[in-house]
Chain A
């Protein structure tokens, strides 16, 4: 009896530390966060947050009241994040796919090149992004020196880290950081395509372009399904890149949602409204993820 109990209980015992920690750091705070979003949790209640008065849906109403300042700023940040995500995921996927397909056949130096392409992924984000912020400096940066002094493309030296251009600076850095991951996943995906498929297609007279369209891209569909979702979630939630690039106050044109909530919470110390915004963000991500999985799985089923 005792032996049987031990046998049944053992896997749970092995899982216990992992489960306990995930609950403590992720799930409990998430539930607390949802509770907080219904409270009037201002700086006076930080040390005694259960004493804060209930706010009902008040925090949510403020967040989505797009005629008032708070709601308008949130809406602006949401729209900026959407276009940022669309651009970064699209470009990262494109670069990753192009590089993976071009490097499918062996050539001299392929191994070294592969390793070099992974460097942005390996560098700590703050070290890499701080280097970009040096490159984007107005007077001392490499970018302005090249664009203005050497190529004469711009009439004056533009500002990259404040104002409207900051959006493009942010997109550039984010693509630089995330395309190697796409490249990595797609390279692995390509290795599963049998070589004789290409040989048979070549015998039938299919050109390179046709081989890519008819064999490579369809075979990559399962990898793409996961890859695009992962890239979407990472990019939409990106905090590190704008935080290191711009410091605590991101310019309006590059005010990503994570930075926005962070500032709204820690500048005003109004954790209730910050939590309400976070919950709205989570709901949005859940809906998009569910819809995405529903659509892509159905399409996959239809093709199979």
Chain B
């Protein structure tokens, strides 16, 4: 191990400290403001609160229908995640285990949909959903179902990509042994490959959930009062006459906890999956 010179240590300490302050200030603002009494957030900013209170955490549920937004987000994100993961498992298994015509075309097409600006297909999709509704009576616009299918396609390309990498790492001898024993390809996938790939599948699930939980653009157009998700709902605090910032911060913290906890717990798997492509 080469010796690290002192100037490098000092630079490291200074730069990393500054970065940490920059990164964590909003998190601390969120946490401390959510515990402040109302007068503390209505006047000048205070580093030290005049008192601690848990009131904001009780009030957030009455000021706006936060519970309903929360439930909508939970339903939409969970359904999108489950569908996206199942579909991605099948697609990734095909790409990883079979050599077929169009294999490369499929991967390139699916991945390139990731680079399209969302605004490009927002307008047409909105019109398509409205017109499908008029023609068939299936309400996709304004419904959770429309949001669920939209979101699951957002996470699908990356999920397939991550799972192909994961499946490629599982020795083929395992599935071949199962095939020799008379298992069909689908049973082999479900009984042999999926159990081994659980960590990868969980990581993909967290990624899909985060994507659906955090999406704003489509949520702002495709939902109505009944189906509004947190992404749009949280902003309704700001449109009140008086913005109760302590409540806004408490609500922000509450809606962040599910995804941040999931991300930090599964950080190792996620990071490996997310960066695999960039490093290859």
Contact = CB atoms under 8 A, between A and B. Distances in A.
Considering the complex of A and B, which 3 residue pairs feature the smallest CB-CB distances, nearest first?
A202-B2, A188-B275, A29-B121
A18 B88 contact: yes
Contacts of B269: none
Nearest to B216: A240
A135 B204 CA distance: 33
A260 B100 CA distance: 43
A120 B5 CA distance: 31
Contacts of B234: 126-127, 130
Interface string B9-40: 00110011001101111110110010000000
B128 A32 contact: yes
19 contacts: A11-B103, A12-B94, A15-B95, A21-B156, A98-B15, A119-B27, A119-B260, A123-B256, A126-B231, A126-B235, A140-B245, A184-B274, A187-B275, A199-B1, A208-B8, A223-B278, A237-B118, A278-B123, A281-B117
A243 B185 CA distance: 47
Contact of B110 (A18, A227, A261): A18
Contacts of B160: 18
B249 A131 contact: yes
Interface of B: 1-5, 8, 11-12, 15-16, 19-20, 22-27, 29-30, 33, 41-45, 87-88, 90-91, 93-95, 98, 100, 103, 106, 109-110, 113, 115-125, 127-128, 130-131, 134, 149-150, 152-153, 156-157, 160, 185, 210, 213-214, 216-217, 220-221, 230-231, 234-235, 238, 245, 248-249, 252-253, 255-256, 259-260, 263-264, 267, 271-272, 274-275, 277-279
A265 to B, nearest CB: 6
A281 B120 contact: yes
A117 B90 CA distance: 34
Contact of B238 (A98, A125, A236, A247): A247
Contacts, number: 280
Given A131-B26, A185-B275, A281-B117, A49 B100 contact: no
Interface in A1-54: 8, 10-12, 14-15, 17-19, 21-22, 24-30, 32-33, 36, 46-47, 49
B121 A26 contact: yes
A184 B267 CA distance: 11
A18 B121 contact: no
Contacts of A159: none
A78 interface: no
B119 A227 contact: no
A266 interface: yes
A33 B123 contact: yes
Contact of A188 (B4, B131, B216, B279): B279
B208 to A, nearest CB: 13
Contacts of B274: 184
A124 B156 contact: no
Contacts of B121: 25-26, 29-30, 33
A271 B127 contact: yes
A179 B138 CA distance: 42
A131 B246 CA distance: 10
A116 B23 contact: yes
Given A21-B156, A239-B216, A275 B123 contact: yes
A142 B88 CA distance: 44
A102 B123 contact: no
A140 B41 contact: yes
A245 B17 CA distance: 26
Given A202-B2, A239-B217, A262-B119, A99 B185 contact: no
Contact of B109 (A22, A99, A131, A226): A22
A107 B279 CA distance: 24
Given A32-B128, A130-B248, A275-B124, A140 B44 contact: yes
A26 B113 contact: yes
B216 A126 contact: yes
B102 to A, nearest CB: 8
A121 to B, nearest CB: 8
Nearest to A212: B8
Given A126-B234, A127-B255, A30 B116 contact: yes
B113 A22 contact: yes
Q: Could you say which of B15, B120, B131 has the most chain A C-beta atoms within 10 Å of its C-beta?
A: B120
A30 B119 CA distance: 10
Nearest to A18: B91
Q: Could you say which of B4, B123, B131, B134 has the most chain A C-beta atoms within 10 Å of its C-beta?
A: B123
A168 interface: no
Given A18-B110, A134-B249, A188-B278, A237 B119 contact: yes
Interface string A127-144: 110111111010111101
Contact of A49 (B127, B216, B230): B127
A242 B79 CA distance: 28
B12 A22 contact: no
Nearest to B121: A29
A189 B33 CA distance: 38
B29 A131 contact: yes
A102 B16 CA distance: 8
A212 to B, nearest CB: 10
Interface string A93-111: 0010011001101010000
